[in-house]
Structure 1
Amino acid sequence: MMLAKVLGAVPLFSGLTEEQLEYVAKHLKRRNYAEREVIVRRDSPGDSLFILTSGKAKCAYLDSEDETIIAIYRPGDFFGELSVLDGEERSADVVALESTEVLVLSATDFHACLHAVPAIAVELLKQLAGRLRRATSWIRSLSSQDVYGRIASQLLHLSQTHGTDVEGGRLIGLRLTQNDMASLVGASRESVNKAMGYFKQKGYITVDTTYHITVHNHDALSKRAQ
């Protein structure tokens, strides 16, 4: 029952009945990962779907010495679905950013759940459509925005998905160095340093000594992101 309750808080499964949640839950296994531990390794077999229940993780592509961060996962997010669906190898690494717990559903059990509970497939399609829309929007921004605009867009997105309201702004609950920001927006560290310095000077954001960013002027960043 405990796993079913946890599962019910995950958007992919939140529309299921208690009986359906129990059915899916009996196929799940818990796994825990320490900070910086690899959860999924690129080019490995795609034999499981992962559901993040606590902590945070990044999905990244490492090419030589350059890292591109594709997404940052929070509780309620799932990953690994593409390889489970098409049988291909993993396309990126997923690494824990802090102590993280995931629920693991094997490919065989995942397909069994899709057949037994078709509502999962419907919600999965909705979630994948949302991800595709966001990816399309980001590709468009890469071609139409300068580094300042891309950073503004990313800060707004992160403040929405990982932020909490604090006095005078919204604190992004992630430790983000300038290298991390460069990996997120596809720019050089030097360009990011210049843009972040400008935003700090204008009072749009502040960055504390632990590399946590607080957004103070949402409207100004929104205007810069257009």
Structure 2
Amino acid sequence: MTRNAAELDRLLAGTPFAGDAASRAVAPLFTQREMPPDTLLFLEGERGGAFAIVAAGRLRAFRQLAGGQELTVFWLRPGDWFGFLPLLDGGPFPVSVASVEPSRVFMLLRDDFRAHLEKHTELCIYLLAHLAERFRTCLDQLGTLGRPGALPRLAAVLASLLPEGERGTVDVEVPMNQVELARTIGVAPENLSRAMSRLVRDGLIRRSSRRRLTVLDAARVRALAYGDLSLRDDRQ
């Protein structure tokens, strides 16, 4: 196995194509692309369909606002992937994606993927199972974000950054600034700030910097996110 093939095999383990059979089926279809800083990879609303995995560097996913401003939705680092739904349905990309530093990605084009699926129907069953799991997760998140108040919404974001099954102390990095995070979860920035201070005061988190923090009790953060915990005098 070549160096690039071994790297791609490792990266695929964190994608919807995880698993020996799935990764072996799609790995030969990927191509590698080098990106200088400020290179646009995907444009919001563009069709065509492609799936990409970040191998090196850092990319920014953003949306264009009505006033011409750009809103950063999330950051992409090595191991992160995007474009799965456009790969499946050929629909438009929901956000634009561009590199912010020298970066390298592995890409899978939709035309190559569709031709491959016609010959490997077992991969379709595997992907359907993955989509069903993601759909259930989305329904859970909708229930959380539908709850009033900044506290459970902030807790839901923090819970999404935690490793699966972790219940103790975890260092995490929030992938956007506080104003962008407030817009993403639909609360006012001042309410988000109060919610963050409340989690610090109640011993659930400790802030290291503007974007880095330590979740001191992952189990309680998840419980707050999913409605299984209510903090006293919660006015958020």
Instruction: Please indicate the TM-score interval, normalised by the length of the shorter structure.
Output: 0.7 to 0.9
| Cα separation, 1, equivalents of 2:197 and 2:219 | 18
**Structure with the higher fraction of residues in helix conformation:** 1
Residue identity opposite 2:179 in structure 1: N
Q: Check if 1:13 corresponds to 2:17.
A: yes
Structure 1 residues 93-108: aligned runs within 5 Å: 93-96=96-99, 100-108=103-111
Give the Cα–Cα distance (whole angstroms) in 1 for the partners of residues 139 and 83 of structure 2. 20
Q: How many residues align?
A: 220
- Normalised TM-score (structure 2): 0.74
Q: Distance in 2 between matches of 1:34 and 1:210?
A: 27
Q: Which residue of 1 aligns with 2:126?
A: 123
Structure 1 133/36 Cα, relative in aligned 2: closer, same or farther at 3 Å?
farther
* 1:190 has 2:190 as partner: yes
Check whether the contact 2:51–2:108 (CA below 8 A) recurs between aligned residues.
Answer: yes
Letter in 2 for 1:48: A
Deviates more, 1:38-47 or 1:173-182: 173-182
Between the aligned partners of 2:170 and 2:100, the Cα distance in structure 1 is: 20
Aligned residue number for residue 204 of structure 2: 204
Structure 1 residues 116 and 123 mapped into 2: Cα distance closer, same or farther (>3 Å)? same
Residue in structure 1 matched with residue 32 of structure 2 by the alignment: 30
Distance 1:27 1:110 in 2: 7
Instruction: Give the counterpart letter for 1:188 in structure 2.
Output: A
Per-residue deviation, residues 146-189 of structure 1 (Å, max 9, x unmatched): 2111101211221226xx99xx8210144542124214422221
Q: Report how far residue 48 of structure 1 moved.
A: 1.9
| Mapped contact 1:179–1:189 kept (Cα < 8 A) | yes
Q: 2:120 & 2:45 partners in 1: Cα distance?
A: 30
Amino acid at match of 2:17: F
User: CA–CA distance in 2 between the matches of 1:153 and 1:143?
Assistant: 11
| Structure 2, unpaired ranges of 5+ | 228-236
Q: Is structure 2 residue 48 aligned with structure 1 residue 46?
A: yes
Deviates more, 1:144-153 or 1:54-63: 54-63
Q: 1:13–1:175: structure 2 CA closer, same or farther, 3 Å change rule?
A: closer
Structure 1, gaps ≥5 residues long:
none
Q: In structure 2, what is the Cα distance between the partners aligned to 1:62 and 1:129?
A: 31
Tell me if the contact between 1:68 and 1:183 (Cα under 8 Å) persists in the aligned partners.
no
CA distance in 2, matches of 1:37, 1:207: 33
1:36 deviation in Å? 6.6
Residues 136 and 102 of structure 1, relative CA distance in 2, 3 Å threshold: same
Asked if 2 retains the 8 angstrom alpha-carbon contact of 1:36 and 1:95, the reply is yes
Q: CA contact under 8 A between 2:72 and 2:176: conserved in structure 1?
A: no
Larger mean Cα displacement after TM superposition, 7-16 or 207-216: 7-16
CA contact (8 A) 1:84 1:107 kept: yes
TM-score normalised per structure 1: 0.77
- 1:175–1:73: structure 2 CA closer, same or farther, 3 Å change rule? closer
- In 2, the alpha carbon distance for the partners of 1:53 and 1:120 equals 24
Task: Report the aligned-residue RMSD.
Answer: 3.4
Q: Secondary structure at the match of 1:26?
A: helix
Amino acid at match of 1:28: F
2:230 corresponding residue in structure 1: none
Query: For residues 77-92 of structure 1, what are the structure 2 equivalents within 5 Å?
Result: 77-92=80-95
Aligned ranges 1:136-147 → 2 under 5 Å: 136-147=139-150
Change (3 A) 1:137 1:177: same
* Closer, same or farther: CA 67–130 of 1 in aligned 2, 3 Å: farther
Aligned-residue identity in percent: 24
